[in-house]
């Protein structure tokens, strides 16, 4: 019985594959990459003096329409910036018009742009920024990572969900979505369809957070810093964490990206925690190469962020270079947000299924709600801004 179960699981045995061979060729990728750039420019690519953009169109509509309480509908009240516009246009194209197959290969570079932007994000912080985050934020992040994993596992047992599916759901909703799900899958002997199931559940939940969380925060008049912490703690998928932060404001996006790095660092410890918490003695007795899996799946861009951040703390970058890196970072983020929209299928909400919805969404809502309460209490106490 154990052999059959193991044979159905994902084969994560170490294979040496050249890194360059994993990247699609330019001949295959250029249509999708060109589409990303063109759409980003027409949405609003910061720093590019292109007059015909959707952002300018919305500003013109706000100027024509009568103001609401003295403010424009799109630019002031709904905060339609390059993040919101890029995501919205990408989602609209994917789900209404459709994305040509020729684009698909180029769209796989969305994660490359995102990781490059996160690495350059390190140039925007100094040592005092790390000290500013403080122990309270670190404690919140650690408690909610491991606490939400326990909640998912408990709900999975309550609804009699398969242990392997429960494990990948716990990884996706407690840590950073797709990366944590893939890293944990071989440890809990998850099948490929279970990994797909968990990814669909986390991404669809993150989509609801992306739309609703900034609206709730504006009603509560949360600060940029507080919302950045809330986004990094409560939104499952890393790409959606940063997008949600930037939808609220530039400073919130920077904070959410910085705090999210700490959550990504917890992937090895979180994966081991879920593995030992979920699996039975029979499965734990099998040969699982834990260190090999962690070494292969730990996100390399985290080390790039740390290197750039350390160099900036040592003032190795002159001010013009820091400014240039900030502009390039915004371009990469913009391209990644457009790509995220073009890859977002609203049908993924249905793919998550009933049990995936109940277990994952219940844990996600509890996590967000409790985190929001904790942050509001800390604000009242004067600890948070």
Note the pLDDT of residue 20.
46
Q: Tell me what the mean pLDDT of segment 30-54 comes to.
A: 84
**pLDDT confidence of 162, banded at 50, 70, 90?**
confident
pLDDT of residue 295 exceeding 70, the answer is: no
- What average pLDDT does the structure give for the chain? 77
CA–CA dist 102, 92 (Å, integer): 18
pLDDT of residue 19 exceeding 50, the answer is: no
DSSP summary character for residue 123: G
Domain boundaries, the chain: 27-380
CA–CA dist 306, 287 (Å, integer): 33
Can you say how many angstroms the Cα of residue 114 is from the centroid of all Cα atoms in its chain? 10
* Angle between helical axes of 163-174 and 192-220 (0-180°, round to 10): 30
**pLDDT confidence of 2, banded at 50, 70, 90?**
very low
Q: Is 268 exposed, middle or buried (0-12, 13-18, 19+ CB in 10 A)?
A: middle
Reading the block at residue 171, the tokens are 């990884």
Reading the block at residue 172, the tokens are 């996706």
> Using one digit for the tens of pLDDT, what is the confidence trace for 107-123?
888 888 888 887 887 78
Q: Tell me what the mean pLDDT of segment 260-278 comes to.
A: 76
365 CB-near residues (< 8 Å, 6+ apart):
none
Note the pLDDT of residue 18.
47
Note the pLDDT of residue 243.
83
> Using one digit for the tens of pLDDT, what is the confidence trace for 298-353?
567 777 888 888 888 888 888 888 888 888 888 888 888 888 788 877 776 565 55
User: Is 0.75 surpassed by the pTM of this model?
Assistant: no
Residue 71 in 3-state DSSP? strand
**pLDDT confidence of 15, banded at 50, 70, 90?**
very low
Largest CA distance in the chain: 70
CA–CA dist 14, 199 (Å, integer): 23
């Amino acid at each position: 019985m154990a052999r059959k179960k193991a044979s159905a699981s994902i084969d994560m045995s170490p294979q040496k594959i050249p890194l360059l061979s994993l990247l699609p060729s330019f001949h295959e990728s250029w249509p999708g990459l060109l589409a990303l750039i063109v759409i980003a420019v027409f949405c609003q690519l910061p720093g590019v003096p292109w007059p015909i953009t959707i952002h300018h169109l919305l500003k013109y509509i706000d100027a024509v329409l009568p103001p609401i309480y003295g403010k424009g509908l799109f630019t002031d009240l709904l905060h339609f910036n390059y993040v919101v516009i890029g995501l919205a246009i990408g989602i609209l194209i994917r789900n209404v018009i459709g994305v040509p197959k020729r684009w698909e290969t180029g769209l796989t570079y969305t994660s490359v742009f995102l990781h490059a932007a996160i690495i350059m994000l390190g140039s925007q912080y100094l040592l005092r920024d790390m000290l500013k985050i403080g122990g309270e934020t670190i404690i919140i992040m650690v408690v909610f990572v491991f606490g939400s994993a326990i909640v998912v596992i408990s709900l999975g047992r309550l609804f009699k969900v398969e242990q392997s599916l429960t494990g990948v759901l716990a990884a996706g909703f407690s840590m950073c979505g797709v990366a944590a799900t893939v890293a944990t899958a071989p440890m809990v002997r998850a099948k490929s369809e279970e990994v797909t199931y968990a990814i669909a559940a986390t991404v669809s939940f993150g989509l609801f957070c992306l739309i609703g969380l900034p609206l709730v925060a504006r009603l509560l008049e949360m600060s940029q810093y507080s919302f950045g912490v809330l986004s990094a703690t409560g939104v499952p998928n890393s790409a959606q964490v940063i997008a949600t932060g930037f939808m609220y404001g530039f400073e919130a996006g920077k904070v959410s990206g910085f705090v999210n790095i700490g959550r990504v660092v917890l992937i090895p410890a979180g994966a081991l925690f879920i593995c030992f918490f979920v699996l039975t003695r029979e499965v734990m007795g099998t040969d699982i190469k834990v260190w090999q899996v962690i070494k292969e799946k730990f996100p390399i861009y985290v080390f790039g962020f740390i290197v750039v951040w350390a160099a900036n703390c040592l003032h190795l970058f002159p001010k013009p270079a820091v400014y240039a890196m900030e502009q390039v970072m915004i371009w990469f983020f913009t391209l990644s947000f457009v790509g995220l929209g073009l890859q977002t299928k609203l049908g993924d909400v249905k793919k998550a299924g009933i049990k995936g919805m109940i277990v994952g969404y219940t844990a996600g809502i509890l996590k967000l709600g409790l985190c929001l309460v904790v942050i509001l209490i800390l604000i009242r106490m004067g600890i948070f801004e």
